[in-house]
Amino acid sequence: MDKIKVAILGATGIVGQRFIERLAEHPWFKIEYLASSPESKGKKFRDAVKWVLNPELPEDIADIALGGSKADDVPDNVDIVFSALPSSVALDVELELAKRGFTVISNSSPLRLEADIPLINPEVNYDHMNLIELQHKKRGWRGVIIKNPNCTTAILTLSLAPILNLTNIEYLTITTMQSISGAGLKGLPAYLIYDNIIPYIENEEYKVKNETLKILSKLHNHRLIKPRFKIYVTATRVPVLDSHLEVVYLKLLKEVSLDEIIHELGRFSSLPQRLNLPTAPSKPIILRTEIDRPQPRLDRCAGNGMSIVLGRVESLDEEENILRYVVLGNNTVRGAAGNSILIAELYLKYYLGVI
Amino acid sequence: MDKIKVAILGATGIVGQRFIERLAEHPWFKIEYLASSPESKGKKFRDAVKWVLNPELPEDIADIALGGSKADDVPDNVDIVFSALPSSVALDVELELAKRGFTVISNSSPLRLEADIPLINPEVNYDHMNLIELQHKKRGWRGVIIKNPNCTTAILTLSLAPILNLTNIEYLTITTMQSISGAGLKGLPAYLIYDNIIPYIENEEYKVKNETLKILSKLHNHRLIKPRFKIYVTATRVPVLDSHLEVVYLKLLKEVSLDEIIHELGRFSSLPQRLNLPTAPSKPIILRTEIDRPQPRLDRCAGNGMSIVLGRVESLDEEENILRYVVLGNNTVRGAAGNSILIAELYLKYYLGVI
Amino acid sequence: MDKIKVAILGATGIVGQRFIERLAEHPWFKIEYLASSPESKGKKFRDAVKWVLNPELPEDIADIALGGSKADDVPDNVDIVFSALPSSVALDVELELAKRGFTVISNSSPLRLEADIPLINPEVNYDHMNLIELQHKKRGWRGVIIKNPNCTTAILTLSLAPILNLTNIEYLTITTMQSISGAGLKGLPAYLIYDNIIPYIENEEYKVKNETLKILSKLHNHRLIKPRFKIYVTATRVPVLDSHLEVVYLKLLKEVSLDEIIHELGRFSSLPQRLNLPTAPSKPIILRTEIDRPQPRLDRCAGNGMSIVLGRVESLDEEENILRYVVLGNNTVRGAAGNSILIAELYLKYYLGVI
Amino acid sequence: MDKIKVAILGATGIVGQRFIERLAEHPWFKIEYLASSPESKGKKFRDAVKWVLNPELPEDIADIALGGSKADDVPDNVDIVFSALPSSVALDVELELAKRGFTVISNSSPLRLEADIPLINPEVNYDHMNLIELQHKKRGWRGVIIKNPNCTTAILTLSLAPILNLTNIEYLTITTMQSISGAGLKGLPAYLIYDNIIPYIENEEYKVKNETLKILSKLHNHRLIKPRFKIYVTATRVPVLDSHLEVVYLKLLKEVSLDEIIHELGRFSSLPQRLNLPTAPSKPIILRTEIDRPQPRLDRCAGNGMSIVLGRVESLDEEENILRYVVLGNNTVRGAAGNSILIAELYLKYYLGVI
């Protein structure tokens, strides 16, 4: 087949670089268009980017001249637009692109909580893709906007999916330790975070709470029915380069044995695996039995960054059904670019059925 | 008055160095004896220690020749023995010293949970000092052993004290981010922790749970009555040099307004402050209102390392009475050497009344 | 005496904070005016600054309302203006201030190499202060501009002064490892420097070479006669918070025994010490004999940040007279704010003789 | 062909792990025997090792039971013994193994400077392999001992080789910034190096100087004729996980244009490339033209860790012929395990001609 032409907006940032890394050799997609900030328009990508990933920047990508990142700038022959735009500018551009008829798959936060915008973590709520019909009806545009969740939520909800197959929960308490890359390539000054922890990330706790509830909702007649449990979130920034670690406590609604939970976590697999999507990890959840795992430096590349890694799964209180685990995921891959690409694959094969 | 002669066992470690830093100019105490490992016996302190604190090693201390760290080695003219011995050797030495009649104030973990051994966080449970009578009766020795809590517990229980003045709690969930110095001067290889998090610290979760319950017990007829709430603990190691950060979630037993809690935290003061003990911080709890505090690098020296710093105090769920805060404390000062010294001061002035 | 009123321009940056830390309790000076970027004009200092130093921001300073940082904004009652302005805006403001008659003592780089602008490292070339006469004659203004050297140069030239008392040198080779704070509070993104080294700092090698030659020049009839040795510089950025480490190799013009050099380094003292200036460290050079010193974390506070610390002084080649040493200095103190303040003291007491 | 059976001594350390990573899928070699410390004898490798590399420990290797690391323990069917033993125990074991007839390729430092022991950096001095004849004659054993250089030297000498093709040098001044892994997996406590630099590494400066001179010697009638230039070395430890950065200044004996040098560096290739040895990088030297490269985090994987990366190549003084460059290499790969494996390949194909 001819490859599908994709654009990447926000291509020089850290998520943009992850898009390029994963699209450069993608079996279905071909990078057709790159854009970054207005100042870098016209420059060669190699001259505009501070490339920070370990695989070298592919030579053919390096030579692409950057286009503009306004909606009008994106050429018509592009099929899918991946957006890694900063939140401040994303909304207008993405809406305009959808009006122009593009399929926009976006890592930016605006619109994530809108009732007609699918917020997809592919293994968890692929069926929410069907909100697209509602979107078309309501917005009246030919295009599509699909969002991937914020990084912490992507990791969290994937870890919850198999457990919620066994029992509902009463409440969830989570403390996160989020890496530097989550603030963007140049978002966090070194002097502020080195030998330090910042126990606050703007808007993060709100996002984790509300995006989690949306993703875990049941879709019923094009409406999402939220689950009823409570979520208590504290988000912190720690001096680690990549991947977020999350300490999760659940009060389960009914008694489930630890063995059963571990069994369910270990065997978890979902539609992306069954469809054999190119970016789907063979094991979305990797369970470690060593007492001191997961660890960011050792586990951030698991499943090429698309698997989450769980450890320290313990029942802390059998009477009260308190379950605790620690989960780690690669924030710029599973929590951003990789997730977007997996959504694109899902959209084409599962929703449109064109591949 | 003549200064009271003290010994420090385990003097070359990081807690040992903190003892020296704070005892070198202490108004009541005079360092009489230093000991470290058997190999360093006889060496000058300056040649045996890798001094890592910012105030330079005082010259007169530097010239002291190290003695042995067996109980027999400690000279009779010593009044108080501060023990920063590693757990593996502490038990025998400390028991023997108490038999020989010494007052042992110890940072090591053995015996902390024994019913007749006071485990003291001075502002929180100074009255537990009265367990000494039970100890004398039960052990039949002339000496005394008093323990300070493990670092995380010292910080946690101090933060809980004012809240428990207002209401009991139903459960407490805590996730810690503990610094490198908590593993000792040479306890943690750099290659394992740099750009990494280790989500497990040996024995730590057990200690935090059980020491917290002991410290918060009510003393009644020489018996400790434990409080009934549940504690769920996850302890992690992060790449930060000094001070532990703890994210705490409390389910309060009854509704208390956030204002009231903040008021109580802000005005907290206790016996060590009233007695004006030399090592007591004027404000044991410092409340920060900035959204991104406490931070290890900025707050670890608060109150000369003896204050804890609280921030992000929020009611996460008014219906369920869920309170969340973040607390930071200097693990080798408030959580170790400084706490031991404050205990010694309390013992002399409050318990013995000799100063 | 009445305190001398000073202004600080660029007060919210890391050098600005160092100025405040050292001027808040200064025996001669009183902070009268603070300014930062145009956006923060009118704000209270506490609301405009991200205070990152360990001594808490003094309460009375915190409440000062920020003024503008244009030359016109500085009130007439200010006696001395300390400038920590970014290079891009410093030139115009400082020239204008001098025209208005202010004494400007500046940490910014423009004008440093001008023949009539004293570039002063107080212990090294206090006599260059006399270039002020040339400045007055040439510029025709009532004010004065005096510069402190760039951070690396301040440390380097102080270390060279005692050696040049013994012999000239043929060449100097230096490799620097410069800390994060040298790039300013927000100048260096964490993702770029953590677990990394950047072997290049913009303009730094040029500055070190040329400022060193200017500072070490002989003043003769209001002209500076440059020394004739060669300087080879490589500047790198390393993941360390504060203080620069410099590895220096000198080819001495004549044989001098290592003992003599060590003796001269150890006893070095200069005019600021003799005048007992408030900011002058009692020992400007601290010589360490341990094989593994100086170290940034242990030595950055030496002499309250105003001393440099030398170690590893060795003769690498007796035939060729190659001397090697490692020197460390606090870049934002000795290399910036502290140096400026010491210059101001020197100017008042030595040059003007008014104190 | 049947794969050649190899043993790895010191298999659990960081260099040992690098051996395993690179031998697990090697086209010529098969891991037959693993050994580590006496305490771990008999344990499965997975239980004895703290695996820290990003590619997961291969399952089949994980199940190998560790043998002893005495010379007698190594089974006769092993063809080549790779030694990553600590220096303190390496000497006796390696000598004994050679006496028993094994081919020992060793990363440990003892014997490196012996006249009859080849010290090989394959692209630089493959011909020194011929010292084996002298070794056989002198030692009278059937086995062979070949050493790879210390990590810093391996990187340095490879960078010098193309330059020495153009001109001799008069002196070489080098300052190194060496990573944590150079001290071994558990060799450097985190508290000592985080936010710090240690400007001294035991024995390192001696090794760099003398091993460099040996490797760059001319072999003449089984004798090595040392080059006559001077070497001045300062070795420091910095908080970086992997790869060493070296700042090198050369005084060239004759004028060579910078273009010529850059040309020679860029095209450098040697016998391992011509023989197409499995571990030989296609480009042993990668020249970067960006002003801020090489950087440890971005360049440590170049050529799968076997290439060195050069940047900042500049003529600092055209009159004096001073050349400066910065070079980076992966210390545990090019500087240790990878180098040893490349030596083994060279030995088999070039020296023995059996492959």
pLDDT digits (tens, 9 = 90+) for B292-345: 999 999 999 999 999 999 999 999 999 999 999 999 999 999 999 999 999 999
Query: Cα–Cα distance between D98 and A1 in angstroms, integer?
Result: 60
Among B333, B290, B1, which Cα is nearest to B182's? Answer: B333
Q: Do the Cβ atoms of C194 and A14 come within 8 Å?
A: no
Kindly list the residues from chain B whose CB atom is less than 8 angstroms away from the CB atom of residue A247: 175, 199, 234, 236
Query: Cα–Cα distance between A92 and C267 in angstroms, integer?
Result: 68
Among D277, D150, D248, D254, which Cα is nearest to D201's? Answer: D150
Nearest CA in chain C to A238: C190
In sequence order, what DSSP letters do the residues of A19-37 get, joined into one string? HHHHHTT-SSEEEEEEE--
CB-nearest partner of D194 from B183, B186, B190: B190
Are β-strands D4-9 and C169-178 bridged in parallel, bridged antiparallel, or unpaired? unpaired
Say whether residue D190 is in contact with chain C using an 8 A CB cutoff.
Answer: no
Among C1, C67, C78, which Cα is nearest to C35's? Answer: C67
Chain D: partners with 3+ C-beta pairs within 8 Å: A, B, C
Query: Cα–Cα distance between B23 and B232 in angstroms, integer?
Result: 36
Query: Cα–Cα distance between D112 and D115 in angstroms, integer?
Result: 9
* % of residues, chain B, pLDDT over 90: 97
Q: Do the Cβ atoms of D241 and B194 come within 8 Å?
A: yes
Among C2, C4, C13, which Cα is nearest to C337's? Answer: C13
Among B83, B90, B18, B106, which Cα is nearest to B300's? Answer: B18
Among A326, A300, A332, which Cα is nearest to A312's? Answer: A326
Among D69, D81, D12, D77, which Cα is nearest to D44's? Answer: D12
Nearest CA in chain C to B190: C195
pLDDT digits (tens, 9 = 90+) for B101-112: 999 999 999 999
Kindly list the residues from chain A whose CB atom is less than 8 angstroms away from the CB atom of residue D195: 194-195
Name the superfamily (CATH) of residues B151-331: Dihydrodipicolinate Reductase; domain 2 (3.30.360.10)
Interface test with C, best of A191, A201, A240 (most C CBs within 10 A): A191
pLDDT digits (tens, 9 = 90+) for C35-64: 999 999 999 999 999 999 988 899 999 999
Terminal alpha carbon distance of chain D = 9
Among D341, D345, D352, D347, which Cα is nearest to D18's? Answer: D341
Q: Which helix (H) or strand (E) holds D172?
A: strand D169-178
- Residue C159 Cα to chain centre, angstroms: 13
Q: Measure Cα distances from C245 to A39, B333, B338, C196, D245 in Å.
A: 37, 30, 33, 16, 15
CA distance B180 to chain D (A): 6
CA distance B234 to chain A (A): 8
Strand order in the sheet with C308-317: C230-237, C169-178, C244-252, C322-329, C308-317, C285-287
Query: Cα–Cα distance between D204 and D189 in angstroms, integer?
Result: 19
The three-point CA angle B12-B15-B21 to 5° equals 80
Say whether residue C346 is in contact with chain D using an 8 A CB cutoff.
Answer: no
Q: Average per-residue pLDDT in chain C?
A: 97
Q: Average per-residue pLDDT in chain B?
A: 97
The count of residues in chain D is 355
Q: Measure Cα distances from A71 to A91, B210, C3 in Å.
A: 11, 60, 61
Instruction: Give the ranges where chain C is alpha helix by DSSP (H).
Output: 14-23, 45-48, 59-62, 87-99, 122-125, 131-139, 151-164, 190-193, 204-215, 258-267, 271-274, 296-299, 338-346
Say whether residue C88 is in contact with chain B using an 8 A CB cutoff.
Answer: no
Q: Which helix (H) or strand (E) holds B233?
A: strand B230-237
By the 8 A CB rule, do A214 and A226 touch?
Answer: yes
Q: Measure Cα distances from A289 to A202, A293, B188, D202 in Å.
A: 34, 8, 22, 39
Interface test with A, best of D298, D300, D301 (most A CBs within 10 A): D298
Mind telling me the catalytic residues of C?
151, 244
Count CA atoms closer than 13 A to D78's CA, side-chain side: 27
Kindly list the residues from chain A whose CB atom is less than 8 angstroms away from the CB atom of residue C192: 50, 52, 185-186, 190
By the 8 A CB rule, do B101 and B26 touch?
Answer: no
Q: Which residues are within 8 A (CB) of B226 and not within 5 positions of it... i.e. 6 or more apart?
A: B213, B214, B216, B217
Q: Do the Cβ atoms of A54 and D194 come within 8 Å?
A: no
Q: Tokens in use for D196?
A: 């710090």
Nearest CA in chain D to C315: D232
Nearest CA in chain D to B183: D191
Q: Which amino acid is at D109?
A: S
CB-nearest partner of D197 from C196, C296, C320: C296
In sequence order, what DSSP letters do the residues of B278-342 get, joined into one string? TT--S-SEEE--STT---HHHHTTGGGGTSEEEEEEEEEETTTTEEEEEEEE-TTIIIIIHHHHH
Instruction: Give the ranges where chain B is alpha helix by DSSP (H).
Output: 14-23, 45-48, 59-62, 87-99, 122-125, 131-139, 151-164, 190-193, 204-215, 258-267, 271-274, 296-299, 338-346
At B45, give phi and psi (nearest 5°). -55, -40
CA distance A191 to chain C (A): 6
pLDDT along chain A (355 residues), means of 10: 94 98 97 95 96 92 95 96 96 97 98 98 98 97 97 98 97 98 97 98 98 97 95 98 98 97 98 98 97 98 98 96 98 98 98 93
Nearest CA in chain C to B295: C52
pLDDT digits (tens, 9 = 90+) for B248-273: 999 999 999 999 999 999 999 999 99
Say whether residue D329 is in contact with chain C using an 8 A CB cutoff.
Answer: no
Query: Which residue is associated with the tokens 């693993």?
Result: D34
Its pTM surpasses 0.95: yes
Nearest CA in chain C to B292: C50
Residue A353: predicted pLDDT? 94
Q: Measure Cα distances from B111 to B345, C63, C198, C319 in Å.
A: 21, 51, 51, 64
Kindly list the residues from chain B whose CB atom is less than 8 angstroms away from the CB atom of residue A249: 173, 232, 234
Residue A1: predicted pLDDT? 72
Q: Do the Cβ atoms of B295 and A195 come within 8 Å?
A: no
Nearest CA in chain D to C242: D195
Query: Which residue is associated with the tokens 């490692």?
Result: C326
**What's the mean pLDDT in B120-134?**
97
Q: Which helix (H) or strand (E) holds D162?
A: helix D151-164
pLDDT bucket at C16, cuts 50 / 70 / 90: very high
pLDDT bucket at B55, cuts 50 / 70 / 90: confident
Burial class from Cβ neighbours inside 10 Å (0-12, 13-18, 19+) for residue A121 reads buried
Q: Is the alpha carbon torsion for B35, B36, B38, B40 positive or negative? A: negative
Beta bridge partners of B82: B8, B105
Query: Of A26, A128, A136, A151, which one is the catalytic site residue?
Result: A151
Q: Which amino acid is at B228?
A: R
Beta bridge partners of A237: A178, A198
Q: Measure Cα distances from D184 to B37, C352, D78, D276, D314 in Å.
A: 24, 59, 26, 31, 34
Chain A: partners with 3+ C-beta pairs within 8 Å: B, C, D
Residue B54: predicted pLDDT? 87
Kindly list the residues from chain B whose CB atom is less than 8 angstroms away from the CB atom of residue C303: none
At D86, give phi and psi (nearest 5°). -65, 150
Q: Do the Cβ atoms of B294 and A199 come within 8 Å?
A: yes
**Domain boundaries, given as residue ranges, for chain C:** 4-150+336-351, 151-330
Query: Cα–Cα distance between A224 and A218 in angstroms, integer?
Result: 5
Assign domain D151-330 to its CATH architecture: 2-Layer Sandwich (3.30)
Say whether residue A293 is in contact with chain B using an 8 A CB cutoff.
Answer: yes
Residues of chain D with pLDDT under 50: none
Q: Tokens in use for D130?
A: 């011929």
DSSP label of A204: H
Mind telling me the catalytic residues of B?
151, 244
Query: Cα–Cα distance between D242 and B270 in angstroms, integer?
Result: 50
Query: Cα–Cα distance between A296 and C173 in angstroms, integer?
Result: 40
Residue A61: predicted pLDDT? 96
Question: Is 90 exceeded by the pLDDT of residue C289?
Answer: yes
Residue A55: predicted pLDDT? 86
Question: Is 80 exceeded by the pLDDT of residue B74?
Answer: yes
3-state SS of B120-134? CCHHHHHHHHHHHHH
Q: Do the Cβ atoms of D197 and C317 come within 8 Å?
A: no
ipTM summary value: 0.97
Q: Do the Cβ atoms of B189 and D186 come within 8 Å?
A: yes
E strand residue ranges, chain C: 4-9, 29-35, 80-83, 103-106, 144-147, 169-178, 218-220, 223-225, 230-237, 244-252, 285-287, 308-317, 322-329
CB atoms within 10 A of CB B165: 11
Query: Cα–Cα distance between C248 and C169 in angstroms, integer?
Result: 12
By the 8 A CB rule, do B178 and B244 touch?
Answer: yes
Kindly list the residues from chain B whose CB atom is less than 8 angstroms away from the CB atom of residue D185: 189, 191-192
Say whether residue B186 is in contact with chain D using an 8 A CB cutoff.
Answer: yes
CATH of domain C4-150+336-351: 3.40.50.720
Residue B133: predicted pLDDT? 96
Are β-strands B80-83 and B4-9 bridged in parallel, bridged antiparallel, or unpaired? parallel
Instruction: Give the ranges where D232-353 is alpha helix by DSSP (H).
Output: 258-267, 271-274, 296-299, 338-346
Q: With a CB-CB cutoff of 8 Å, which residues 191-210 of chain A face chain C?
A: 191-195
CA distance D334 to chain B (A): 19
pLDDT digits (tens, 9 = 90+) for B285-294: 999 999 999 9
CB-nearest partner of B241 from D180, D187, D191: D191
